Each structure stands twice: as structure tokens, then as C-alpha cells.
Amino acid sequence: MSAPNTNKYSVILPTYNEKKNLPIITYLLAKHFEANKLNWEIVIVDDNSPDGTQTVAKQLIELYGPEHIQLKPRAGKLGLGTAYVHGLKSVTGNFVIIMDADFSHHPSAIPQFIAKQKSKDFDIVTGTRYAGDGGVYGWDLKRKLISRGANFLASTVLRPNVSDLTGSFRLYKKEALQQIIEATKSKGYVFQMEMMVRARSLGFTIGEVPISFVDRLYGESKLGGDEIIGYLKGVWTLFTTV
Ligand SMILES: Nc1nc2c(ncn2[C@@H]2O[C@H](COP(=O)(O)OP(=O)(O)O[C@H]3O[C@H](CO)[C@@H](O)[C@H](O)[C@@H]3O)[C@@H](O)[C@H]2O)c(=O)[nH]1
Ligand SMILES: [Mg+2]
């Protein structure tokens, strides 16, 4: 008989107006974890979404139990980067998965992340849309150019040697994530890129898994002009300091 699996995978799900997506993503996460006999939990970080996402989250806690679902709300929309910091404080697993709640990141890819992590005991496994058979579906040309441009700029200037710097479907060893988060200063979408640059300078190993990113069905993206300016400032700050 094989040794019991003592690893536990904690998913941090940041939500802002994801009432329609949250029940389905939770169902699929639970299904994939249970099918692979893994210990799991989901930590929902909701920023007081006006659509009532938290009411749905509370129903999910009733359904799956507090050992599987935690709700860690905040008073208002405080940004994606700080949502992960907030969620991490409540994590009980030794591995942390970060992903979007809107199906752009599909739970069915998680077993591949876990297998990749085990293959070389990686500190981090990051999903990539820009290597192997990874890709992006459903974005218009403008959004594709923003994403490609953001990756091209940061990889040319900062050279962290990761093919998708701005993606946010990632698996971390909890201690690695804690150290990287402590070193990371930005608060918005630029956080994902800074995390990879910091991870490299701290000497963590990074594996990659090609993923298909599919644009959301329900609701809207929260990426706006402010986030793009924040990104450019972030590249500049890292270039001059790291
Ligand atoms: N709690 C909280 N959640 C947020 C916030 N802003 C966004 N979210 C949540 O974060 C996830 C991603 O937000 P989207 O608005 O759907 O992002 P996107 O435009 O599809 O961007 C995706 O691509 C970017 C570029 O590759 C990624 O940087 C980003 O993380 C995401 O994967 C969703 O689950 C959304 O509800 C916030 O301020 N607070
Ligand atoms: Mg999205």
C-alpha cells in the first residue's frame, strides 16, 4: 500500500462580482481534488462585491463544510495583489494554488500542476499561455496586444526567464509564497509579474505547465487603464531596484 498523502492544497480565490461563477468553480475544484484523493480547501477573498458573491460563498460553506471552504472578506475593492496576501494568512495547506474565479483558469489543469511540482520538487509551478500548446481564447486584439506587450517588456528588461509573467494560475510551496509575498511591493495586477521577478532573485525553482486561458463567460474583466499604468511603473521600479 502506498503512503497516505499528507499534502494539502489550498486554493486562494479572489472574487469581485463573481456570484454566477463561484458555485461552478467550487464544484469543479472539489470534483478534481476528490477524484485525485487530495486534501484541499478553498479560501475565498471577496471585496464586498455588490452582486452578493458573499451570500453565495456562505451557502457553499454550508454545503461543503468549513473544513473545505473559508470566506475571508474585505471591506471594499482593494486590488488583486493584496487579496492574495489576505488569503494567505488563513491558508492551512502546505501548497497554495492561485487562480481566477471566472473559468479563465480551469480546475482540470490542477493535476498537471501537481505532477509537474512533484517531478523536480519545484518551489513554484506557473501556468503559461505563451509556451508549448498554451494559448488564449476569446480576447480581442487589443487585449492580446496588451498581454503580449506586458510580457515582452518585462521579460526583455528584467529577464526572469519565465514565459508568462502576467498570468496568475500558479502553484506554490506555502513557505516560498510567504517569502515572495513579503518581498513584493505592488498591489494590483502587476503583482503577478513582480512575484516571478522576486522568486528568481530569491533563488526559487520555477516549472511551467502550458494552459489555455479562456475569457470569462459571465461578468466583466476588472483590468483598466490604472492597472496598465501601475504595470509600467512596476517594471520601471524593478528595473532600477532588483
Ligand atoms: N478580491 C478581489 N478580487 C479581484 C479584484 N480584481 C479582480 N479580482 C478577481 O480576480 C480574478 C481575475 O480578475 P479578472 O478581472 O477576471 O481579470 P482578467 O482581466 O481576466 O485578467 C486575467 O489576466 C491577467 C493578465 O494575464 C492576469 O494578470 C489576471 O490575474 C487574470 O488572470 C477574478 O476572479 C476577479 O473576480 C479585487 O480588487 N479584489
Ligand atoms: Mg478574467
Identify the residue with better confidence: 67 or 137: 67
pLDDT tens digit string along 189-203?
A: 888 999 999 999 999
Cα 215 to ligand 2 centre (Å): 6
Closest alpha carbon to 231 in 139, 166, 157? 166
ipTM of the complex: 0.95
The closest alpha carbon to 160, from 125, 128, 203, 129, belongs to 203
Closest ligand 1 atom to Cα of 101: 34
**Nearest residue CA, atom 37 of ligand 1?**
79
Sign for the CA dihedral angle at 36, 45, 85, 150 comes to positive
- pTM here? 0.92
**Is residue 162 within 8 Å of 151, Cβ to Cβ?**
no
> Could you tell me the CA-to-CA distances from 126 to 5, 173, 221 in Å, in that order?
22, 12, 21
Q: What is the pLDDT of residues 27-77, one digit of tens each?
A: 999 999 999 999 999 999 999 999 999 999 999 999 999 999 999 999 999
| The predicted structure's pLDDT at residue 4 | 59
| Ligand 1 atom with least separation from CA of 83 | 1
Q: What angle do CA 17, 19, 24 make, to 5 degrees?
A: 130
Which tens digits make up the pLDDT trace of 157-191? 778 788 899 999 999 999 999 999 999 988 878 88
Calpha distance 126→113 (Å, rounded): 8
Residue 188 is given by DSSP the state S
Ligand nearest to the CA of 49: 1
Ligand 1 atom nearest 223 alpha carbon: 19
Residue range 71-118, pLDDT digits in tens: 999 999 998 889 999 999 999 999 999 999 999 999 999 999 999 999
CA–CA separation, 216 and 198 (whole Å): 29
Tell me if 172 sits within 8 A of 204, measured CB to CB: no
Spell out the domain ranges in the chain.
8-241
Q: What is the mean pLDDT of residues 9-24?
A: 96
Does residue 77's CB lie within 6 angstroms of at least one atom of ligand 1?
yes
Closest residue to atom 30 of ligand 1, CA basis:
168
Classify the C-alpha dihedral 241-163-206-228 as positive or negative.
positive
β-pairing verdict for 69-71 and 170-173: unpaired
**CATH architecture assigned to 8-241:** Alpha-Beta Complex (3.90)
